[in-house]
Amino acid sequence: MTDNMSRLSCQYGEDEFQYEVIYLPKRKHKIAIHVHPNGVVQVDAPEDAKQIDIKRAVSQRARWITRHLADIRERQKEVLPRRYVSGESCFYLGRRYLLKINHVSNGKSETKLFAGRLNVTTQDTSPEAIKQLLWHWYKTHARTNFQKRLYVLAANIFWVRKSPPEIRLLTMKRQWGSCSPRGNIILNPHLVKAPRDCIDYVILHELCHLQEHNHSQKFYQLLAQHQPEWKSIKTKLDNLSEILLNQ
């Protein structure tokens, strides 16, 4: 645990939960509380926030937190290996969608987001066929979203403004991205399931490697210039990893 993070606990009735506090040097807003899908409670606080104020903020929202944690525990009881059937959850850009399988006797297979659902229409409704159709959809949307965000972010970074690097997709079990020796950005297609600020964090992380090729203090100073709250966003992404990397 680093100096800018601490772990505390809160008692609410018969329930007790732990929460991680991340101190952010440039944060000027009030204390923010997040309950991640894996049950981790994250508190973002200004660097000069007093512990008594943080505890008070958490206590004031303890009922909301414990309710979310109870919902998560109920969902986790039913967590099974993916079966690729209607009713399962799918993530896209940080939002949860229900998977809906539509069987047709003929016609072209297609996957579309519609009315809060990820609809897959196909003749072959076997789990392997649905898995392949979903993965193709994710990769297509990953390429489009990543390229769009790369050009937006690169416009504000002088060393990549004129010639943004190419993006390659590569499925990885543990990494979200990397930067090749030739300066190409490699991103994990699963990242498209994450919230937009997490996608921006990974892209900015790799763009900063074009200037600083290691994880030195200069690298992190550079990253903080372009995304001051990167530590909070990284923690959020880390807490989502197990869920988002699940096929």
Look at strands 177-179 and 185-187 and give their pairing: antiparallel
Position 117 confidence tier, pLDDT thresholds 50, 70, 90: very high
Output the pLDDT for position 25. 80
pTM comes to 0.76
Position 233 confidence tier, pLDDT thresholds 50, 70, 90: very high
Would you say residue 1 has pLDDT above 50? no
Asked whether 31 and 54 are in contact (CB, 8 A), the reply is yes
In angstroms, what CA-CA distances link 158 with 155, 162, 223? 7, 8, 14
Q: For the segment 41-70, what is each residue's pLDDT rounded down to a tens digit?
A: 999 999 889 999 999 999 999 999 999 999
Compute the distance between CA of residue 240 and CA of residue 246 in angstroms, rounded to an integer. Answer: 10
List, in order of start, the domains of the chain with CATH numbers.
5-77 (no CATH), 89-136 (no CATH), 138-244 (3.30.2010.10)
Residue with tokens 């508190």: 43
Would you say residue 26 has pLDDT above 80? no
Q: At what angle do helices 230-244 and 196-209 cross, to 10 degrees?
A: 110
Question: For 82-94, what is the mean pLDDT?
Answer: 92
Question: For 98-104, what is the mean pLDDT?
Answer: 95
> The sheet that has 110-114: what strands, in order across it?
89-92, 95-103, 117-122, 110-114
Q: For the segment 163-200, what is each residue's pLDDT rounded down to a tens digit?
A: 888 899 999 888 999 988 788 899 999 999 999 999 99
